Amino acid sequence: MSFYVTTPIFYGNGEPHLGHAYSTMAADILARHMRQRGEDVFFLTGTDEHGEPIAQAAEKQGLTPQELVDRSAQSFRDMAAKVDATNDFFIRTTDQGHIERVQAVVDRVKENGFVYEGTYEGWYCPRCADFKNENEIGPGDTCLIHEIPLDRETEQNWFFRLSAFQDELEKLYEENPGMIQPDFRRNEALAFIRGGLNDVSLSRSQISWGVPLSWDPDQVMYVWFDALLNYYTALGYAREGEDLTGRFWPASWHIIAKDILKFHTVYWPAFLMAAGIEVPQRIFIHGFLLMGDKKMSKSLGNVLDPFEVIEKFGADALRFYCFREVSFGQDGSISTEGFETRYESELANDFGNLASRTLAMISRYRDGVVPEAGPDPLLLADFEGITDRVSALLDDAQIGQALEEIWVLVRRLNRYVEEAQPWVLAKDEADAERLDQVLYSLAEGLRVLTLLLHPYLPASTDILLEALAEPDQGLAPFGSRPGGVKVEKIDPLFPKL
Ligand code: ME8
């Protein structure tokens, strides 16, 4: 089966922060997990490089737009690498391959009769790059998100007949209740659609930094249509000489935050329908990471630097913390103190310790060879079906809940060590068989959990899988690997600071 997951493409006028890293890590966890299941995976991220905000930011910095986006594309690429994302391609909307394909899709939308010429008059937020309808305008004609005055725009441009898709969109979400996750976001999208859809500008005439329309090159594509199309165009040119569209489209998951719900649940499927292209399978809309009670954002300046955290604690710790602390789908506060607490108590104590002591005991009591014994019946029921449960949760992008399922068993194994007391068993030759069973069960439990944790903690689980002499990273049920394997001791995976 093919599995195609995307992040938003981030604006090429800013520096990456933890909010961007969050979506990237989420998509990466799903991609890694699906690869473990042997699926044919494609994972896309990238940068959104056209439009007025970028042209303006470049001018302010005394750069050409291209110079600015070249720099920030590099920063976003670095960010993805630093959080250990395994994206299969990094799209930039200034790629020639993207531009050509955007033009081709828009031409189809026009041929299909959904484009007309008209005059736009209304309110526009230059930061959102969004035309606001009545219920999106704050007091004194301001942007509700950025709290800045909106611009009154009047311009001659081309329109997309969004209104023609009202019924089809309603039907889409009524007939596919699971398509937008979490469920309350689907209600939001439906409410927006039922509120009535106005046609939207498809092009801008007073901006030049964008994709020119093939039939009217004085106008450039409205940046949101250009940007949304990235998910589709990338497959056409990500691999030289190969078109991956048939293999991966429609996307399995678009991972986004709630700020761009309207674009992804209303504009995007409508535009695809207009072009005669299949709509994505599912869209996951996560919440905002908050520092205190404020959204982290570039314009508010309260940004937690993921690079600093990674420098000090490693990418695994960041990946773990974000999905452990905040319920995926909800807003959630994060803090340095919260981070340090979880690092100590969960990564270092619960998991790191379990790994170190299991390997140390096998080394001390059995010369590093996992005994050839069977699994302890005491643990069998706990581990029964764990891989399926985690897989089912991750099928629905329940990243935090899947992690919780795994963590329950991490704690279970720690309790098992305390209950079984291998150091007592080791003192009496009469307990040798029981010790074999306990050590085997610990090694096996640790192996199963390490495999399940791999998508969350790729670097430390790589070390551990090597120490456990587990060559294959595919998921495995408890008790499926026989003993007799030589394992190695390890240094603490999450050293105390
Ligand atoms: O909107 N918490 O780009 P953008 C969680 N280019 N996630 C956050 C976040 C926070 N505090 N801040 C940002 C754009 N994000 C468009 C997208 S897609 C075709 C075009 C993440 O750079 C989250 O995924 O403003 C959010 O949707 C995205 O960054 C917005 O990134």
Question: What is the distance in A from the centroid of ligand 1 to the CA of 317?
Answer: 22
Phi, psi of 208 (to 5 degrees): -115, -10
Could you give the angle at which helices 458-467 and 432-453 cross, rounded to 10 degrees?
A: 150
Q: Position of tokens 């230059």?
A: 126
Which amino acid residue places its CA nearest to atom 2 of ligand 1? Answer: 288
- Does residue 306's CB lie within 6 angstroms of at least one atom of ligand 1? no
Question: What is the distance in A from the centroid of ligand 1 to the CA of 414?
Answer: 39
Position 68, amino acid: L
- Does residue 317's CB lie within 6 angstroms of at least one atom of ligand 1? no
Query: Would you please indicate which residues are annotated as catalytic (active-site) residues?
Result: 17, 20, 125, 128, 143, 146, 295, 298
SS3 15: coil
- Does residue 223's CB lie within 6 angstroms of at least one atom of ligand 1? no
Task: Ligand 1 pocket test: pick from 9, 20, 232 the residue with the most ligand atoms within 8 Å of its Cβ.
Answer: 20
Distances in Å between the Cα of 462 and the Cα atoms of 238, 287, 314, 360 are 28, 30, 14, 18
- Does residue 20's CB lie within 6 angstroms of at least one atom of ligand 1? yes
Which amino acid residue places its CA nearest to atom 7 of ligand 1? Answer: 19
Do the bridges between strand 89-92 and strand 2-11 make them parallel or antiparallel, or are there none, so unpaired? unpaired
Report the pLDDT value the prediction gives residue 14, as an integer from 0 to 100: 83
Distances in Å between the Cα of 408 and the Cα atoms of 170, 332, 346, 413 are 40, 22, 11, 9
Which amino acid residue places its CA nearest to atom 22 of ligand 1? Answer: 10
Contacts of 107 (CB under 8 A, 6+ apart): 214, 215
CA dist 420 and 443 (Å) reads: 14
- Does residue 229's CB lie within 6 angstroms of at least one atom of ligand 1? no
Q: Which atom of ligand 1 is nearest to the CA of 8?
A: 18
* Per-position DSSP letters for 267-290, written without gaps between them: IHHHHHHHHT-PPPSEEEEE--EE
Which among 414, 422, 310, 329 is positioned nearest to 373, based on CA atoms?
422
Q: Which atom of ligand 1 is nearest to the CA of 7?
A: 24
* pLDDT exceeds cutoff 70 at 299: no
- Does residue 12's CB lie within 6 angstroms of at least one atom of ligand 1? no
Report the pLDDT value the prediction gives residue 295, as an integer from 0 to 100: 62
- Does residue 43's CB lie within 6 angstroms of at least one atom of ligand 1? no
Q: Return left, alpha or beta for 9; rule: phi > 0 is left, psi -120 to 50 is alpha, else beta.
A: beta
Which among 282, 291, 283 is positioned nearest to 331, based on CA atoms?
291
Task: Ligand 1 pocket test: pick from 7, 10, 318 the residue with the most ligand atoms within 8 Å of its Cβ.
Answer: 10
- Does residue 22's CB lie within 6 angstroms of at least one atom of ligand 1? yes
Rg value, the chain, Cα: 26
Phi, psi of 43 (to 5 degrees): -125, 125
What does the pLDDT average to over 53-64? 93
Which among 369, 371, 355 is positioned nearest to 431, based on CA atoms?
371
Write down the pTM of the prediction. Answer: 0.95
Q: Which atom of ligand 1 is nearest to the CA of 11?
A: 22
- Does residue 422's CB lie within 6 angstroms of at least one atom of ligand 1? no
Report the pLDDT value the prediction gives residue 294, as an integer from 0 to 100: 63
What does the pLDDT average to over 67-89? 97
pLDDT band at 154 (very low <50, low <70, confident <90, very high): confident
- Does residue 304's CB lie within 6 angstroms of at least one atom of ligand 1? no
- Does residue 123's CB lie within 6 angstroms of at least one atom of ligand 1? no
- Does residue 260's CB lie within 6 angstroms of at least one atom of ligand 1? yes
Q: Which atom of ligand 1 is nearest to the CA of 257?
A: 27
Neighbours of 402 (CB within 10 A): 26
User: Token pair of 274, please?
Assistant: 């207009």
Task: Ligand 1 pocket test: pick from 92, 125, 259 the residue with the most ligand atoms within 8 Å of its Cβ.
Answer: 259
Phi, psi of 76 (to 5 degrees): -70, -35
Let me know: does 154 contact 121? Beta carbons within 8 Å.
yes
Helix (H) or strand (E) run with residue 143 in it: strand 142-143
* pLDDT exceeds cutoff 70 at 33: yes
CA dist 214 and 225 (Å) reads: 15
- Does residue 289's CB lie within 6 angstroms of at least one atom of ligand 1? yes
* pLDDT exceeds cutoff 90 at 163: yes
Do the bridges between strand 289-291 and strand 294-295 make them parallel or antiparallel, or are there none, so unpaired? antiparallel
Task: Ligand 1 pocket test: pick from 9, 22, 299, 305 the residue with the most ligand atoms within 8 Å of its Cβ.
Answer: 22
Let me know: does 86 contact 43? Beta carbons within 8 Å.
yes
| Alpha helices (runs of H) in 37-146, residue ranges in sequence order | 52-60, 65-82, 96-111
Which amino acid residue places its CA nearest to atom 3 of ligand 1? Answer: 10
pLDDT band at 309 (very low <50, low <70, confident <90, very high): confident
Let me know: does 459 contact 339? Beta carbons within 8 Å.
no
* pLDDT exceeds cutoff 70 at 296: no
SS3 349: helix
Report the pLDDT value the prediction gives residue 352, as an integer from 0 to 100: 98
| Alpha helices (runs of H) in 396-467, residue ranges in sequence order | 399-420, 422-425, 432-453, 458-467
Distances in Å between the Cα of 257 and the Cα atoms of 22, 181, 254, 420 are 10, 11, 10, 46
What does the pLDDT average to over 68-89? 97
Distances in Å between the Cα of 198 and the Cα atoms of 20, 154, 162, 201 are 30, 16, 6, 10
CA dist 94 and 97 (Å) reads: 8
Which amino acid residue places its CA nearest to atom 15 of ligand 1? Answer: 19
Let me know: does 180 contact 285? Beta carbons within 8 Å.
yes
Q: Which atom of ligand 1 is nearest to the CA of 268?
A: 19
pLDDT in tens, 310-345: 888 999 999 999 999 999 999 999 888 888 999 999
Least confident interval from 14-18, 115-119, 460-464, 470-474: 470-474
Q: Which atom of ligand 1 is nearest to the CA of 258?
A: 27
pLDDT band at 15 (very low <50, low <70, confident <90, very high): confident
* pLDDT exceeds cutoff 60 at 302: no
What does the pLDDT average to over 66-85? 96
